[in-house]
Amino acid sequence: MDQMPEKNAEVNSWAKAIFAITLFVEDLAAAKQFYLKVFDLPLIFEDNNSAVFKIGNTLINLLKTTAAGVLIEPATVAGRAAGSRSVFTIHVEDVDAMCAKLTARGVELLNGPLDRPWGIRTASFKDPGGHIWEIAK
Among candidates 112, 93, 20, 100, which has minimal Cα distance to 57? Answer: 20
Q: Which domains does the chain have, with CATH numbers?
A: 19-77 (3.10.180.10), 86-137 (3.10.180.10)
> What is the C-alpha separation between 14 and 135, in angstroms, rounded?
27
Residue 6 has a pLDDT of 57
Q: What is the pLDDT of residues 26-43, one digit of tens each?
A: 999 999 999 999 999 999
In the sheet with 20-25, reading across from the earlier edge strand, the strands are: 20-25, 58-64, 50-55, 43-46
> What is the C-alpha separation between 90 and 18, in angstroms, rounded?
13
Residue 10 has a pLDDT of 62
Residue 114 has a pLDDT of 96
- Contact in structure between 64 and 52 (CB atoms under 8 Å): no
Q: What is the pLDDT of residues 82-133, one digit of tens each?
A: 888 789 999 999 999 999 999 999 999 999 999 999 999 999 999 999 999 9
Work out the average pLDDT over 21-25.
95
Window from 9-23, 39-53, 58-72, 101-115 with minimum mean pLDDT: 9-23
